[in-house]
Structure 1
Amino acid sequence: MTSPRRPAGLARQFALAVALASGTAVLAVPGFTGAAYAQKKKKKDEQQEAAPSYSEAFVKAYQPLDASLKAPGADVAALKPQLLALVPLAVSPDERLALGGMIFNSGITGKDLPLQFQGVEMMLASGKVKPEEAGKFNVVAFQIANSLSQFDKARTYLQAAIDLNYSGPNMTVSDLQMNMAEIFFSEDRHVEGLKYLSDAIEARKAQGQPVDAKWYKRGVAVAYTNEVVPQVYDFVEDWVADYPTPENWRDAVNLTRNLNDYDGPVLLDLLRLGKKVGTLKDKNDYVFYIEAADTRRLPMEVKTVIEEANATGVIPSKSDTWVEEQLKVASGLISEDRAALPSLERDASAPAAKLRTVIAAGDTFLSYGEYAKAAGFYERSLSMPEVDRNLALTRLGIAQIGAGNIDAARATLAQVEGPRAPIAMLWSAYARQQAGAATGAATGS
């Protein structure tokens, strides 16, 4: 058998939609002007704003260099030593703001990223950047630091922009938060990045705000690619609950299969979910289901699955000898199986009933869609010695969903541990989806 396909389209890198300065300044950077310098010499009354503060030594060094840098064909690389020699002279906040702007713009002209970074850092450190421009300055500082792999500084400036609630024509605070997670991912600090992203998702939900699908998809992609478990399942559960498209469900089911080596009984409960959400698309999906269900044990379920495969054309009728044989066997067993249901119910309900009989009754009634009866037997099994508690809880949750007891089902599935936990989480997401659909129908939306 071939293994299920890897989820498609999950590993795309999310990029912030803000271009780095490349030949054109993206910041309105202030610079020193003669008028500003002259202004400081004027006598001010108490109501006037304080004039910019520039020393004569700074002005004397700044003005000719500024002219040289602005001259046509200026060679920034050749003038860089003079530019850096000005740094010790920039003592006042105004001087640092002006020189930072000169350095930043020179870095753009000379395509010198470290020089750009030095300039924007100097401007921000001056404390003189206008409040309405601070967010943009911090975003640019983050971008340059990130490009230079100075990740700690990138985080600092990005967080400052987030704290300032900055947004622009092509970005939102949500985009900035996504990029904070991306910094961790760039450093292969996947667990920390996923934790940041998860916390941001929870914060948005707590505020009643929608969570962008790309947050979930990126979390799933990183966690899946790097096999970060159990975090991957947390993202998957919320992803398909909030965005239950067939494609998302198929990716969710397949990545759960790919990350685990499930045996028949465990795989059966995952494939049952796959059938509910329409992710059985390949011949092997149905073949695995038939094998896991076992034709002689659950003939009605096998017959239903094969008929679906025939109807959808995934396994055309009479195209596969083995599948046709399973359908023939299942069809021949169903009437006898149905006739035995009353006696099975009676035996499993007897005070002295064995665990095997009780579980068999739950499985059989579940396969016939008699969910309330199945749930009763699984509940009883949980009080019996040597029960496979995680199997019983998983199938009890499935039966409760079928019976419409959504809250009870989610509480049940939350108790599942071990290898079955990811499957229980997906069933819980399905329960949330069903509850949402029921609420929408009740309100007419």
Structure 2
Amino acid sequence: MFPISSRAGGTFVSRAALTAALALGLAGGMVATAAPALAKEAKDAKAEGPKLSKAFITLAGPLQNDMAKAKDQASAAALKDKVLAALAAAQTVDDKFFAGNFAIQIGQTGKDSGLMKTGLETVIGSGKLTGPELGKYNYYLGGMAFDAKDYAGARTAFSNAVAAGYVENDVQALLAETYFATNELPKGLEVLGAAITARKAAGSVPPKEWYIRGLSVAYKAKTYEQAFGFGAGLVEAYPSTDNWADAIGLARTAGRFQAQETLDLMRLMDATGSYRDTSDYAEYLQAADARRAPAEVLKILDEGVKSGKLSPSDVFVNENKTIAQARLAADKASLPPLEKDALLPTASTATVMAAGDAFLSYDQWAKAEGFYQTALGKPGVDADRALTRLGIAQFEQGKFADAQATFGKVNGVRKPIAQLWAIFAGQKAKGG
């Protein structure tokens, strides 16, 4: 079972609040550095044409001096009326830009979120900023709206930030959160998925939390195919035994596979060493069937006991061990005649596939590969099953590029199984 409760990522709300607060501190600092510029604007107004209106300069000059002395909440709050007057007097682009920054600084120092919001809106509306810098102010505004649970306002601001080219501080994921917060889950998942795609296209690795959040939301919404998509992306970007267990668990939940599909998925769990508990081993053993693949069953039983996840005294373990041991000698003895029959030009598709399956279960990868290749040229073959197992045989021989190509041809119900095998083959090809 997929332990969703341990993987749920929560939301990005706390991150939004913290980041916005810190960033606004930097924004407030812009006002102090703007003071000389304000004086220069007034000095050069006649030479270059007015950028600051006289009415605004009359108010802004003294206000700047007062602001420099406002170091605590009380002294900042005392300047609110003057800041509001400056905002009201602002007429030009530069008037509004400076007035807005005054409001941000005094609002922050005075802990007046309303004034800070007005300041941000004024700077944005001034038209002074473009590109990512404009996006940054929209991000700040979105963070404040999000913290106030104004999700529609946050959505607009975050959308504007992204449109302006701002990509810092998980802004795309926060945009998705505005949809999650209003229970618009499909749209939120779409936005988050697009953010992941864009980040990858830009040559960066999306944050782990993005995948986990999408996985969590989709799983709880019971859209298991979407959850699997995020899980596959997670294990591709951040391979670990936990993430492999999650991705494989999601594939099992989304796929509702029959025994033969489950067997190939559990073979991947074995290859990645991502068993979580006894139930994983039990599912593998049931899919393999001690009567059909005794050698493979005995191998998995031995691994499970050594790992401590299977108890040698367990009834289920003993039953499987007894059946497999009783079948092993006869099963081994059947291999040579089966191989001989399968090599005949007139061999049926079923015979050739049976030979491939038999040798695969005995870890004789090269022979298995040959039989699956032959089977794919036979009429009536289950191509997706043959391709999946051909890819496994190639993978186990270290033919990782070949395996990736083979897995890429699998369609139908087996496609997610092959997708995960292909991811693992790609990681192995890179030395992972």
Q: Describe the shift of the 1:296–1:34 C-alpha distance in structure 2 as closer, same or farther (beyond 3 A).
A: closer
1:289 equivalenced with 2:284 (yes/no): yes
Conserved 8 A contact 1:268-1:289: yes
1:340 equivalenced with 2:342 (yes/no): no
Conserved 8 A contact 1:183-1:193: no
**Aligned twin of 2:124:** 124
Deviation per CA, 1:217-244: give whole Å up to 9, x if none: 3444444444556554444334323432
**Aligned twin of 2:396:** 402
- Aligned residue identity for 1:152: T
- Aligned residue identity for 1:40: A
How far 1:330 sits from its partner (Å)? 0.9
How far 1:77 sits from its partner (Å)? 11
**Aligned twin of 1:249:** 244
Conserved 8 A contact 2:79-2:106: no
Q: Describe the shift of the 1:330–1:372 C-alpha distance in structure 2 as closer, same or farther (beyond 3 A).
A: same
Deviation per CA, 1:169-225: give whole Å up to 9, x if none: xxxx474455455456555323432332232332243xxx55544444344444444
- Aligned residue identity for 1:429: I
**Aligned twin of 1:237:** 232
**Aligned twin of 2:258:** 263
Greater shift in the superposed pair: 275-284 or 236-245: 236-245
Q: Describe the shift of the 1:141–1:333 C-alpha distance in structure 2 as closer, same or farther (beyond 3 A).
A: same
Conserved 8 A contact 1:23-1:111: no
Q: Describe the shift of the 1:229–1:152 C-alpha distance in structure 2 as closer, same or farther (beyond 3 A).
A: farther
**Aligned twin of 1:97:** 97
Q: Describe the shift of the 1:341–1:89 C-alpha distance in structure 2 as closer, same or farther (beyond 3 A).
A: same
- Aligned residue identity for 2:392: I
The secondary structure found in structure 2 opposite 1:28 is helix
What is the rounded CA distance, in whole Å, between the counterparts of 1:434 and 1:22 in structure 2?
41
- Aligned residue identity for 2:386: A
- Aligned residue identity for 2:417: I
**Aligned twin of 2:371:** 377
Conserved 8 A contact 1:103-1:116: yes
- Number of residue pairs matched? 418
What is the rounded CA distance, in whole Å, between the counterparts of 2:272 and 2:43 in structure 1?
76
Q: What is the percentage of aligned positions where both structures have the same residue?
A: 33
What pairs with 1:33-432 in structure 2 (closer than 5 Å)? 40=42, 53-56=52-55, 58=56, 73=74, 89-105=89-105, 107-108=107-108, 111-128=111-128, 137-147=137-147, 148-149=150-151, 150=153, 151-160=155-164, 162=166, 173=168, 175-176=170-171, 178-183=173-178, 185-186=180-181, 188=185, 189-205=187-203, 209-228=204-223, 230-317=225-312, 319-432=313-426
What is the rounded CA distance, in whole Å, between the counterparts of 1:4 and 1:36 in structure 2?
60
Deviation per CA, 1:36-60: give whole Å up to 9, x if none: 5797378866xxx77752233x456
**Aligned twin of 1:170:** none
How far 1:26 sits from its partner (Å)? 5.0
Q: Unmatched 5+ residue regions in structure 2?
A: none
Deviation per CA, 1:260-283: give whole Å up to 9, x if none: 322211111111111111122322
Tell me the TM-score normalized by structure 1.
0.79
How far 1:331 sits from its partner (Å)? 1.3
What is the rounded CA distance, in whole Å, between the counterparts of 1:177 and 1:408 in structure 2?
37
1:27 equivalenced with 2:28 (yes/no): yes
**Aligned twin of 1:436:** 430
Conserved 8 A contact 1:216-1:239: yes
Q: Describe the shift of the 1:139–1:391 C-alpha distance in structure 2 as closer, same or farther (beyond 3 A).
A: same
Q: Describe the shift of the 1:345–1:39 C-alpha distance in structure 2 as closer, same or farther (beyond 3 A).
A: closer
Q: Describe the shift of the 1:159–1:295 C-alpha distance in structure 2 as closer, same or farther (beyond 3 A).
A: same
How far 1:108 sits from its partner (Å)? 3.7
Q: Unmatched 5+ residue regions in structure 1?
A: 164-172, 441-445
Q: Describe the shift of the 1:305–1:63 C-alpha distance in structure 2 as closer, same or farther (beyond 3 A).
A: same
- Aligned residue identity for 1:199: T
Conserved 8 A contact 1:365-1:371: yes
- Aligned residue identity for 2:194: Y
The secondary structure found in structure 2 opposite 1:304 is helix
Q: Describe the shift of the 1:154–1:174 C-alpha distance in structure 2 as closer, same or farther (beyond 3 A).
A: closer
What is the rounded CA distance, in whole Å, between the counterparts of 2:73 and 2:5 in structure 1?
54
What is the rounded CA distance, in whole Å, between the counterparts of 2:131 and 2:317 in structure 1?
71
What is the rounded CA distance, in whole Å, between the counterparts of 1:36 and 1:322 in structure 2?
81
How far 1:355 sits from its partner (Å)? 2.2
What is the rounded CA distance, in whole Å, between the counterparts of 1:132 and 1:397 in structure 2?
46
The secondary structure found in structure 2 opposite 1:244 is coil
What is the rounded CA distance, in whole Å, between the counterparts of 2:243 and 2:377 in structure 1?
37
Greater shift in the superposed pair: 15-24 or 379-388: 15-24
Q: Describe the shift of the 1:21–1:303 C-alpha distance in structure 2 as closer, same or farther (beyond 3 A).
A: closer
What is the rounded CA distance, in whole Å, between the counterparts of 1:87 and 1:365 in structure 2?
80
Structure having the larger proportion of residues in helix: 2
Q: Describe the shift of the 1:65–1:402 C-alpha distance in structure 2 as closer, same or farther (beyond 3 A).
A: closer
How far 1:310 sits from its partner (Å)? 1.9
Conserved 8 A contact 1:190-1:223: no
Conserved 8 A contact 2:133-2:166: no
The secondary structure found in structure 2 opposite 1:387 is coil
Conserved 8 A contact 1:295-1:302: yes
